[in-house]
């Protein structure tokens, strides 16, 4: 089947256009009536080449497609830095309540009290869990949160009269790539900081780049190696002494809840990826939610609106003269706020602490076994994730991290994150999450062990993987740089 002139899909599932038969679709008008009775002629098209399918055929078609190659609902997905945990179905039920789902974003405050209460209570819960004074629910994803936080920092320094002077943002080499990108977008000069042999920010290296031009130091803790920055109090004190602000990338906060709070570590700004830690479906570029938390001295700069509460009545507050403006229309991704608050209430404080404890336990359970057959460059107790390197394996067998990832797919497991963070050669970054059972973790370790053994005995078998998936190896560069998935009607 041809998607367009030079791509052919040959996996046995017809296109939805080819599945249909004329007249098979459900009809929306009773006999004798047609659309032109109800729709003005100017809006009617002469031809609309939509497929003609029954609802049942559509459901089956998309269910089959959703399970091609891999589906999160059918297999383990240990994608490091992504927290692919189970998303409880009760979250969806709450987000679909008609009172939330059908509420118009222009509804006046008095008709939206329930929705405003959700936002207010979520904001308060996040402030308490992470030790910040206040959060904005404006940003629509993690990187958007970084951008928001850096605008807040900029506004703060401008108010202090230091806007022109504080032009640099320090980012350790363990950081996610969005950190330097966000800083550059706000106009900052980025200084990349090499981590030390323990995979952490060295205090002397940091001091060497601190100065009166420092605006912000952006850190991830636990960092992307899964390691806790054990000198964090010294680090935040040093940045503050230089007049800078500390920013916490909390995209991966799954090890933190109930264990440690960025506010207590001295961070002034942070973002969260609710679509990871707070069990909201994500991936494929879908809608996210990246609230930003701030310390007291930055609260005035939060974007509008802020939800306020007085004697049990909630209101959207736009009257905030120092606010940086709006980062997102209306109430941002409100349904995600409902999902996140559901998750908070379903777990409670003790439950969230347990989530983090189990995430750490599961990661270390897997790590302790994987280190028997793959090199662990930072061989110590990790937090919610850890990295291993396939560098030795590549030298001995020619099998790379990339090949291990493909071979895992054949065995029913999604690959861990590969080639990130960049400072580990042939890196695999494994994050099991708390929601997986011991049996699943054992199965994954056994599959990875067997792949490594096969790589030594018969590398070709691994280099040819995947052989059981719908498509084998594709041209990844072309797929990423020139995706062209639009169907075009035959002419």
Ligand X SMILES: Cc1ncc(COP(=O)(O)O)c(C=O)c1O
**438-457 and 334-370 are packed helices; what angle lies between their axes, rounded to 10 degrees?**
50
Burial class (CB in 10 A: 0-12, 13-18, 19+), 225: buried
Closest-CA residue to 217 (of 284, 277, 265, 279): 265
- Minimum CB separation from ligand X for residue 141, in Å? 4
Burial class (CB in 10 A: 0-12, 13-18, 19+), 152: buried
- Rounded-to-integer distance, Cα 229 and Cα 208, Å: 18
Give the H/E segment covering residue 149: helix 142-160
Residue 293 in contact with residue 134, Cβ under 8 Å?
A: yes
- Rounded-to-integer distance, Cα 251 and Cα 270, Å: 9
- Minimum CB separation from ligand X for residue 288, in Å? 4
Which one, 249 or 434, has the nearer CB to ligand X? 249
Please give the biggest Cα pair distance in the chain: 82
Which one, 180 or 466, has the nearer CB to ligand X? 180
Which one, 137 or 462, has the nearer CB to ligand X? 137
Which one, 176 or 406, has the nearer CB to ligand X? 176
Closest-CA residue to 250 (of 199, 192, 292, 298): 292
- Rounded-to-integer distance, Cα 390 and Cα 87, Å: 31
- Minimum CB separation from ligand X for residue 96, in Å? 23
- Rounded-to-integer distance, Cα 88 and Cα 100, Å: 18
Which one, 259 or 369, has the nearer CB to ligand X? 259
- Minimum CB separation from ligand X for residue 87, in Å? 15
List helix spans (H) across 178-282. 178-185, 203-209, 232-241, 262-265, 274-277
- Minimum CB separation from ligand X for residue 18, in Å? 35
Closest-CA residue to 147 (of 179, 182, 178, 180): 182
- Minimum CB separation from ligand X for residue 80, in Å? 9
- Rounded-to-integer distance, Cα 415 and Cα 407, Å: 9
- Minimum CB separation from ligand X for residue 318, in Å? 26
Instruction: Indicate left, alpha or beta for 426 from its phi (over 0: left) and psi (-120 to 50: alpha).
Output: left
Which one, 20 or 250, has the nearer CB to ligand X? 250
Which one, 20 or 288, has the nearer CB to ligand X? 288
Q: Which residue's Cβ lies closest to ligand X?
A: 142
- Minimum CB separation from ligand X for residue 421, in Å? 10
Is the Cα torsion angle 110, 113, 119, 121 positive or negative in sign?
A: positive
Which one, 176 or 414, has the nearer CB to ligand X? 176
Closest-CA residue to 155 (of 145, 166, 144): 166
- Minimum CB separation from ligand X for residue 386, in Å? 15
**142-160 and 178-185 are packed helices; what angle lies between their axes, rounded to 10 degrees?**
40
Which one, 249 or 436, has the nearer CB to ligand X? 249
* Torsion (CA) 367, 370, 373, 378 in degrees, nearest 10: -30
Which one, 180 or 263, has the nearer CB to ligand X? 180
Point out which residues bind ligand X (CB under 6 A).
81-82, 141-143, 176, 178, 220, 249, 251-252, 273, 288, 290
């Amino acid at each position: 089947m041809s998607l367009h002139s030079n791509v052919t899909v040959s996996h046995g599932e017809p296109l939805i256009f080819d599945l249909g038969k004329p007249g098979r679709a459900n009809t929306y008008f009773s006999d004798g009536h047609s659309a032109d009775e109800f729709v003005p002629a100017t809006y009617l098209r002469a031809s609309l080449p939509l497929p003609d399918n029954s609802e049942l055929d559509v459901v089956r078609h998309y269910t089959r497609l959703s399970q091609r190659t891999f589906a999160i609902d059918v297999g383990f997905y240990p994608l490091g830095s992504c927290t692919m945990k189970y998303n409880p179905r009760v979250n969806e039920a709450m987000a679909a309540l008609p009172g939330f789902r059908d509420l118009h974003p222009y509804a006046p405050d008095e008709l939206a009290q329930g929705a405003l209460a959700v936002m207010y209570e979520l904001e308060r819960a996040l402030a308490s869990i992470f030790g910040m004074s206040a959060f904005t629910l404006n940003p629509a994803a993690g990187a958007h949160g970084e951008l928001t936080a850096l605008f807040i920092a900029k506004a703060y320094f401008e108010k202090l009269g230091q806007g022109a002077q504080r032009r640099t943002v320090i980012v350790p080499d363990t950081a996610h790539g969005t950190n330097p990108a966000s800083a550059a977008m706000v106009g900052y000069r980025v200084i990349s900081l090499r981590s030390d042999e323990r995979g952490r920010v060295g205090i002397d290296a940091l001091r060497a780049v601190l100065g009166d031009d420092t605006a912000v130091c952006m850190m991830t803790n636990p960092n992307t190696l899964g390691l806790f920055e054990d000198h964090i109090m010294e680090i935040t004190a040093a940045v503050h002494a230089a007049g800078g602000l500390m920013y916490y990338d909390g995209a991966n906060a799954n090890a933190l809840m109930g264990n440690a709070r960025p506010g207590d570590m001295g961070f002034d700004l942070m973002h969260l990826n609710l679509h990871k830690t707070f069990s909201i479906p994500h991936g494929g570029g879908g809608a996210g939610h990246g609230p930003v938390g701030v310390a007291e001295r930055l609260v005035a700069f939060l974007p509008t609106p802020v939800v306020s509460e007085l004697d049990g009545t909630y209101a959207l507050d736009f009257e905030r003269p120092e606010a940086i403006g709006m980062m997102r229309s209306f109430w941002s991704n409100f349904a995600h706020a409902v999902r996140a608050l559901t998750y908070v209430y379903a777990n409670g404080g003790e439950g969230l602490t347990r989530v983090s404890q189990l995430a750490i336990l599961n990661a270390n359970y897997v790590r302790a076994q994987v280190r028997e057959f793959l090199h662990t460059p930072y061989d110590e107790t990790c937090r919610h994730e850890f990295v291993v390197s396939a560098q030795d394996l590549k030298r001995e067998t020619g099998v790379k991290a990339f090949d291990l990832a493909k071979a895992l797919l054949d065995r029913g497991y999604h690959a861990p994150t590969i080639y990130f963070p960049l400072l580990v050669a042939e890196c695999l970054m494994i994050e099991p999450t708390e929601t997986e059972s011991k049996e699943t973790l054992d199965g994954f370790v056994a599959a990875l062990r067997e792949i490594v053994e096969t790589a030594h005995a018969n590398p070709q078998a691994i280099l040819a993987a995947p052989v059981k998936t719908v498509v084998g190896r594709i041209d990844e560069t072309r797929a990423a740089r020139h995706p062209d998935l639009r169907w075009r009607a035959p002419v």
